[in-house]
Structure 1
């Protein structure tokens, strides 16, 4: 189903090497006329953006965010400072299309990047909105990012159960986005680099149709990132495909060099 195949890259480390494999896909879904999602997989940055806004406003917003972040990734200088500068430029880009955008136009920006500027490398997740980063580690799956949504705030306050949240009428309402009426500072989470880890970065078009258990199931079934992403997309479409669906699957293998002896 994917048009793109799995991409591989080796990253030298002070004590060994990282072998990364990843795949991306994006699909319009079965209900929407256009795809307002955008995706960026350019080492060391892996990002999904889910645009919102009437007509083509959401498409402009997500494309602007991804284009500005692509320039950061191409320079290889990915940090909170450069990410936030890029997103500020994206806000200006969005505002530069008054014929198609308004105060309700914006985009989620969610992803993960590899930080090798410190002696011990780390992953850093970033998030604005309700797209998500999941981490598969030691056979289990955990959501790393926290949704910026009305439903998430109600659950955090104890006023809504996860079961009630699934069909809540405000399920699509997010509380933060990259757009004219919001700031551009994501939440960040720093994670150790561990052999065998796998990341899933996705728009809510996937999580509306597939539970966390479903995502875990397809990761366990498919070691190859492209195969895993394809299987998740197929399940999301079979379950309704009510929204655009974008998925990035990233595999991490870490090898440590044996110390040499005289």
Structure 2
């Protein structure tokens, strides 16, 4: 029997991979990777490593979860070292739990290698701490996308009134509904909201507004997935500590000019 590593590749910036995660890439015989990982990480794989793309788009799955499980089992049973490379953290909306259960059921040796999840990293790169002594002592990870055919069972009143900061994954398409539910269940219309598109990489784009205005702002700026939605007073801190955009601006200013 081989072994499977369920590895979190982090939120996008290749420098945010963990030391152990990088080692798993370097030593793997087979790598199954998702759409949202930074492809630069694959350059660390062995020359003869087999790379298998398992990418999933919103509303379209290139490879079904059952097929991914099958590949993990097949290669591990052939004695291979298999790295399952996922964006963010494998156990935060990454279906890592489902894959771990499948491996355990068939007696396959595996390890989970946590990664930095975008619910913390994307707002951090946008200058938004998810907790702050003066603004937020509680935060929650929330899925903004329901499984097909499943009713909305989120406790919106608890989220609206009981949690200071919400980090909402996969919610751009349902943003009007999300804002409506929070307002309906008692969250103030002036509550700040940020959407961070492609957080932690050069293409990062952040827009801010309130629960009352953010839907129009997102539509006007054509913000799409992948984006994190952050709801809470901590969004106000972005005005003072948006370090990533400032750093990129400074780098652009100091780019040498080439004359021909």
Which TM-score band applies after superposition, normalised by the shorter structure? under 0.3
Higher relative contact order (CA 8 A, sep 6+): 1
Which structure has more helix as a fraction of its residues?
A: 2
Structure possessing the higher radius of gyration over alpha carbons: 2
TM-score, normalised to structure 2, is 0.27
TM-score, normalised to structure 1, is 0.27
